Amino acid sequence: MLRFAVVVVAMGLMGSQNSAIAHSHHQHGAQAGPAGRETSATREFKAAHAKMMRDMAKPFTGDPYIDYRVHMIPHHQGAMDMAWVALRHSKDPWTRQAAQAILIAQQQEIAQFQTELQRRGVKAPSGGYPRYTITAGTYPDPDRAREEDETGTRDELIGKTWAPRSAPPRASARRGARRAAASVGAMKAAHAKMMHNMHKPFTGNVDVDFFTHMIPHHQGAIDMSRVALRHAPRSSTRQSADAIITAQEREIFHFHGWLDRNGASTRRSSK
């Protein structure tokens, strides 16, 4: 993945870290209106969803290298927009930590995809803003800190189907057209599935709403990445897709854990 320096900006989002940590998971009810009430956070989540759906409605070229990146950029921007809503409204330290991790990872991947599209002479969609910068008030990620190795772990090897500098044999024009049609069809199906699964009712609890909508959002990224793994001939695309699958599956697991701990499990609707 492309690594780049994140621009440092003053945020003033956190206030005192110690006072935020003092909130327990049992205080969520005080953070949101009654169940089903349309709070300001609910309205912002809905606006973020609608914007992402509009921005992802882009034509397909049949080239999985281009289609994957052009559609993943607004998809990632949608995750950033929802994460900003969580940061503005949630008082739960775990939720805020998850939102910060999403912002950092997604803006980096957006920048990578934009750079790769520009190198191919393709106009890249805008995205990755507003920038999130790690500050003294940023919550540490204990799960990542406990990782013994960020690469080559057992989970990262599961489903590995690519190798650096490898590519499938060159296809004939007819076979190439069939593969392009198959790629587009599979990508559209992944889009439709995600949009259907993200149409969940809002509870008015910013933490619950954030995680219940981020789970199908992340599953959408996984599904699109699996399409890229099946159809993209370039190892760089396949490597990016594989990394996204690993990261998003890990986050979905942790999101389910938070919901389970707080009595709001949605496991049946995550696939």
DSSP string, 24-93: -GGGGGGGS-STT---HHHHHHHHHHHHHHHHH-----S-HHHHHHHHHHHHHHHHHHHHHHHHHH---H
C-alpha to C-alpha distances, 232 to 64, 137, 139, 179, 187, nearest whole angstrom: 5, 40, 37, 10, 12
The pLDDT, as a whole number, for residue 18 is 33
The CA distance from 119 to 66, in Å, is 11
Residue at 86 is within a domain: yes
Q: Please give the mean pLDDT across all residues of the chain.
A: 75
Residue at 15 is within a domain: no
Which residue from 182, 184, 187, 205 is spatially nearest to 31, judged by alpha carbons?
Answer: 205
Band (pLDDT 50/70/90 cuts) for residue 1 is: very low
Ranges 10-19, 38-47, 255-264: which has the least confidence? 10-19
The pLDDT, as a whole number, for residue 135 is 72
Residue at 134 is within a domain: no
- Is residue 266 predicted with pLDDT exceeding 50? yes
Those residues whose C-beta lies under 8 Å from the C-beta of residue 203, and which sit 6 or more positions away, are 32, 35, 36, 209, 212, 264
User: Bigger pLDDT: 20 or 248?
Assistant: 248
Q: Return the DSSP state at 143.
A: H
Q: Average pLDDT, stretch 166-194?
A: 68
The pLDDT, as a whole number, for residue 176 is 57
Residue at 231 is within a domain: yes
Residue at 221 is within a domain: yes
Ranges 19-33, 109-123, 207-221: which has the least confidence? 19-33
The pLDDT, as a whole number, for residue 267 is 63
**Angle between the N-to-C axes of helices 173-197 and 64-89, in degrees from 0 to 180, rounded to the nearest 10:** 20
Band (pLDDT 50/70/90 cuts) for residue 45 is: very high
CB atoms within 10 A of CB 199: 9
The pLDDT, as a whole number, for residue 141 is 52
Which CATH number characterizes residue 220's domain? Answer: 1.20.1260.10
Band (pLDDT 50/70/90 cuts) for residue 209 is: very high
Residue at 51 is within a domain: yes
Per residue in 58-80, pLDDT tens? Answer: 999 888 889 999 999 999 999 99
Residue at 253 is within a domain: yes
Ranges 15-24, 29-38, 174-183, 187-196: which has the least confidence? 15-24
Q: Tell me how far the alpha carbon of residue 230 is from its chain's centroid.
A: 20
Residue at 31 is within a domain: no
Q: Tell me how far the alpha carbon of residue 223 is from its chain's centroid.
A: 12
Q: Indicate the pTM of the whole model.
A: 0.71
- Is residue 163 predicted with pLDDT exceeding 70? no
Q: What residues make up the domain containing 229? A: 36-127+176-265
The pLDDT, as a whole number, for residue 212 is 95
Q: Average pLDDT, stretch 159-173?
A: 35
User: Bigger pLDDT: 119 or 265?
Assistant: 119
The CA distance from 141 to 242, in Å, is 22
The CA distance from 162 to 230, in Å, is 10
The CA distance from 253 to 143, in Å, is 12
Q: How many domains does the chain have?
A: 1
